[in-house]
């Protein structure tokens, strides 16, 4: 027999039916099996055979180990899976961050830059640190003991349609996930403690709500507006959220929701007041971005809202003509644009009927407070602002004399918990009021937004007297800049 031929052909070939039966129980085993038969047939050089057998043992060992692990996982462990976009993820990470082993997790993702919310370890314990590193769990797993149980935490990253989808899996031996649930409950309690006095802000991405940040609550007193309007709005929402009102709505079959429209020029406090309201009533805030949704996406996002929350729909006049991005305008210290926006619109994906359907849908009704804001109330569809969809409209105007006076006092009067910034010209309460009056008399009424005026005040935060002296020059400059921007905007609109 010619042995040279034996090395190029399999002497014993498993029949197709053999392979398929083996493969049913152990996928991929058929191939390994046929290779084994070939090796053991004795037609190979001794070293090649030894090498082959070692390789085979390694492959089989790995295969067997994986199979065993899968078998144990399927039949002898219970698992709780926590998707990345859900707040339960934060709860689990909060729990991990309180554990001594948090710093020893073997597989983590390190990053610098704006602090990510999904972190369990940060390398700066005392205040601000330049380029601080943060760590988050990443592809891998580790074991730890919890209440005398051995638990495994693993992070898996699946390639999603748009971007990788992370999830954490908490597994424990035994058929009951009770211990994992207890751990999550502990995480929840700790998490709630940490977000006290914070407003959680959610935004949407790829059809899911994701918490993007926890902001310090903004006290309502820091938003300077008509005090009667403010009080009436706070009372209205307080009444709406009460248990009696909830059952009143339920017993009459009316959808339990409330809608507001804040309107007025940019930088007048519409968003700020929405956040203050959220803080005042300990509600989370869900920010809808019109350019990022279409009709079906909006309906599904509304359906995923939790009960009792604020939905903030800014620049609602852009529906149907959603701006892909806001025109570039100077921003105030707080980030508001300072001239009326209007140019740069492109057809939007969200239609007015899509928005109306989502607002009328029952899915999200349970205690939902909808706040819509606009700079252009005159452009709004009347169907959108009819009672039932919008229960109250509130104007946020440009600053009048009274508002200018109060803004000045807010910036320069000493507040509880203030660490004095620099030397004050005069800390005396009545001196500040006298300067505030002078400042208000020099600043034109109903021409500038609170955001614009705050820009000047914050620039002079060390010296109220300087702020007063600078008004005249500032007004001239602000007017010039405004007309330049208006010219540019009209030029952009005409091309």
One of 91, 121, 225, 278 touching ligand ATP (CB under 6 A): 225
Residue 77 or 445: the one with the smaller Cβ distance to ligand ATP is 445
Q: What Cα–Cα distance (Å) separates residue 9 from each residue in 28, 37, 38, 43, 70? A: 21, 12, 9, 10, 36
User: Does 224 help bind ligand ATP (rule: CB under 6 A)?
Assistant: yes
Residue 92 or 318: the one with the smaller Cβ distance to ligand ATP is 318
CB of 294 to ligand ATP, least distance (A): 23
CB contact at 8 A, 368 and 311: yes
CB of 331 to ligand ATP, least distance (A): 8
One of 89, 135, 286, 396 touching ligand ATP (CB under 6 A): 396
Smallest CA-to-CA distance from 210 within 303, 363, 300, 87 is with 87
CB of 295 to ligand ATP, least distance (A): 24
User: Does 371 help bind ligand ATP (rule: CB under 6 A)?
Assistant: no
One of 266, 320, 348, 354 touching ligand ATP (CB under 6 A): 266
Length of the chain: 495
By rule CB under 6 A, what string of x and - marks binding of each residue 452-471 to ligand ATP?
--x-----------------
Residue whose C-beta lies closest to ligand ATP: 334
Residue 218 or 368: the one with the smaller Cβ distance to ligand ATP is 218
Cα 327 vs. chain centroid, distance in angstroms? 24
User: Does 344 help bind ligand ATP (rule: CB under 6 A)?
Assistant: no
- Which of helix, strand or coil describes residue 65? helix
Binding segment (CB under 6 A) for ligand ATP, from list 65-73, 79-87, 176-184, 269-277? 269-277
User: Does 268 help bind ligand ATP (rule: CB under 6 A)?
Assistant: yes
Region of 34 on the Ramachandran plot (φ > 0 left; ψ -120 to 50 alpha; else beta): alpha
Residue 94 or 276: the one with the smaller Cβ distance to ligand ATP is 276
User: Does 334 help bind ligand ATP (rule: CB under 6 A)?
Assistant: yes
User: Does 318 help bind ligand ATP (rule: CB under 6 A)?
Assistant: no
CB of 268 to ligand ATP, least distance (A): 4
Q: Encode burial over 335-370: b for 16+ CB neighbours within 10 A, e otherwise.
A: ebbbbbbbbebeebbbebebbbebbeeeebbbbbbb
Binding segment (CB under 6 A) for ligand ATP, from list 56-64, 71-79, 145-153, 331-339? 331-339
Residue with tokens 């729990």: 95
User: Does 140 help bind ligand ATP (rule: CB under 6 A)?
Assistant: no
Beta strands in 112-207 (DSSP E): 121-122, 134-137, 140-146, 149-158, 165-173, 198-205
User: Does 249 help bind ligand ATP (rule: CB under 6 A)?
Assistant: no
Binding segment (CB under 6 A) for ligand ATP, from list 149-157, 220-228, 378-386, 467-475? 220-228
- Taking every pair of Cα atoms in the chain, the longest distance, rounded to a whole number of angstroms, is 115
Residue 225 or 435: the one with the smaller Cβ distance to ligand ATP is 225
Smallest CA-to-CA distance from 314 within 231, 201, 216 is with 201
Q: What is 272-321 written as a DSSP string? A: HHHHHHHHHTT-EEEEE-GGG--HHHHHHHHHTPPSSEEEEE-SGGGTTS
CB contact at 8 A, 316 and 436: no
User: Does 199 help bind ligand ATP (rule: CB under 6 A)?
Assistant: no
User: Does 230 help bind ligand ATP (rule: CB under 6 A)?
Assistant: no
User: Does 375 help bind ligand ATP (rule: CB under 6 A)?
Assistant: yes
User: Does 370 help bind ligand ATP (rule: CB under 6 A)?
Assistant: no
Question: With 0-12 CB in 10 A as exposed, 13-18 as middle and 19+ as buried, what is 175?
Answer: exposed
Bridge partners, residue 137, by sequence = 108
CB of 218 to ligand ATP, least distance (A): 8
* Distance (Å, whole) CA 184 – CA 190: 10
What are the structure tokens assigned to 299, written together?
Answer: 């309906």
User: Does 276 help bind ligand ATP (rule: CB under 6 A)?
Assistant: no
Residue 172 or 372: the one with the smaller Cβ distance to ligand ATP is 372
The H-assigned helical ranges of 41-177 are: 46-76, 87-97
Residue 358 or 411: the one with the smaller Cβ distance to ligand ATP is 411
Number of H helices, E strands in the chain: 15, 14
Task: Kindly determine how many residues on this chain lie close enough to bind ligand ATP according to the rule CB under 6 A.
Answer: 23
User: Does 184 help bind ligand ATP (rule: CB under 6 A)?
Assistant: no
Binding segment (CB under 6 A) for ligand ATP, from list 53-61, 223-231, 292-300, 416-424? 223-231
Sheet containing 121-122: which strands, arranged edge to edge? 108-111, 134-137, 121-122
What are the structure tokens assigned to 140, written together?
Answer: 């891998």
- The binding site for ligand ATP (CB under 6 A) comprises 223-225, 266-272, 314, 332-337, 373, 375, 396, 450-451, 454
């Amino acid at each position: 027999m010619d042995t040279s031929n034996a090395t190029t052909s399999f002497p014993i070939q498993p029949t197709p039916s053999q392979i398929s039966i083996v493969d049913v129980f152990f996928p991929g085993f058929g191939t390994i099996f046929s290779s084994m038969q070939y090796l053991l047939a004795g037609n190979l050089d001794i070293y090649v055979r030894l090498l082959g057998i070692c390789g085979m043992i390694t492959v089989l060992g790995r295969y067997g180990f994986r199979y065993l692990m899968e078998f144990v996982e399927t039949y002898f462990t219970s698992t709780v899976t926590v998707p990345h976009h859900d707040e339960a993820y934060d709860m689990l990470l909060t729990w991990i961050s309180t554990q001594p082993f948090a710093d020893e997790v073997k597989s983590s993702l390190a990053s610098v830059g704006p602090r990510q919310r999904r972190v369990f370890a940060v390398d700066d314990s005392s205040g601000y640190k330049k380029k601080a590193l943060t760590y988050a769990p990443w592809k891998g797993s580790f074991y730890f003991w919890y209440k005398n149980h051995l638990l495994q935490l693993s992070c898996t990253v699946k390639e999603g349609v748009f971007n990788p989808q992370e999830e954490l899996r908490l597994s424990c031996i035994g058929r009951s996930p009770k211990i994992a649930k207890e751990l999550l409950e502990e995480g929840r309690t700790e998490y709630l403690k940490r977000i006290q006095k914070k407003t959680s802000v959610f935004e949407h991405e790829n059809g899911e709500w994701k918490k993007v940040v926890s902001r310090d609550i903004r006290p309502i007193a820091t938003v300077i507006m008509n005090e009667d309007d403010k009080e009436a709005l706070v009372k209205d929402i307080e009444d709406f959220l009460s248990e009696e009102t909830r059952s009143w709505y339920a017993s009459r079959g009316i959808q339990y929701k409330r809608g507001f429209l804040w309107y007025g020029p940019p930088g007048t406090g519409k968003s700020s007041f929405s956040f203050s309201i959220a803080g005042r009533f300990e509600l989370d805030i869900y920010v809808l971005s019109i350019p990022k949704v279409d009709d079906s996406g909006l309906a599904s996002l509304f359906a995923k809202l939790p009960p009792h929350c604020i939905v903030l729909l800014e620049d609602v006049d852009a529906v149907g003509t959603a701006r892909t991005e806001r025109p570039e305008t100077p921003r105030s210290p707080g980030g508001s644009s300072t001239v009326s926006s209007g140019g740069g619109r492109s057809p939007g994906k969200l239609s007015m009927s899509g928005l109306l359907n989502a607002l009328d849908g029952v899915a999200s009704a349970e205690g939902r407070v909808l706040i819509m804001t606009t700079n252009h109330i005159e452009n709004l569809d009347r169907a959108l602002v009819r009672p039932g969809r919008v229960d109250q409209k509130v104007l946020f105007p440009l600053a009048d004399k009274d508002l200018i006076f109060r803004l000045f006092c807010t910036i320069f009067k000493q507040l509880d918990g203030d660490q004095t910034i620099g030397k004050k010209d005069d800390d005396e309460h009545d001196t500040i009021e006298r300067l505030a009056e002078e400042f208000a008399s020099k600043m034109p009424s109903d021409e500038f937004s609170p955001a614009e005026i705050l820009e000047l005040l914050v620039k002079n935060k060390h010296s109220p007297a300087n702020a007063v002296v600078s008004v005249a020059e500032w007004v001239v400059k602000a007017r010039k800049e405004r007309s330049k921007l208006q010219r540019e905007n009209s030029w952009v609109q005409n091309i």
